[in-house]
Amino acid sequence: MPTIQQLSKCVRSKNAGPFWVTIEIFCDNREHYDLLKRSPVVSAATVAELYHVPENQVKVFYMDNIMIIKFSYPRPFPSGYRYENDMHSGQQYVLLAERNV
């Protein structure tokens, strides 16, 4: 079974302000985009489980015209917090990208 990363052109994460993280899945063909969009693994429930946030706080955006799936969820601590280990949220995508579809 392929992973999300194998079916996408790029998966990345970043800050969406000091209190939110955004993960974006970029696809370069419609077949892979549609497959990921329909997959139960590419969902708010999976993001909630992986990042330990309530599912009802995960926002999901499907940008069909540019084939991007975006998830936003609240950070456990604000960016720059004393014990923060990924201030820019640049490494957060890995857990989701490695999931099998």
Domain presence at residue 83: yes
Distance CA 78, CA 63 (A): 27
Two tokens, residue 101: 């579809």
Count structural domains, the chain: 1
pLDDT of residue 85: 79
Distance CA 21, CA 7 (A): 22
Domain presence at residue 60: yes
Domain presence at residue 51: yes
DSSP SS3 for 31: helix
- Share the mean pLDDT of the chain: 95
Domain presence at residue 18: yes
Range of the domain at 21: 4-96
Domain presence at residue 101: no
pLDDT of residue 81: 85
Give the pLDDT confidence of 50-90 residue by residue, as tens digits: 999 999 999 999 999 999 999 999 998 888 888 877 888 88
* pTM (2 d.p.): 0.93
Q: How many other CB atoms sit within 10 Å of the CB of residue 73?
A: 24
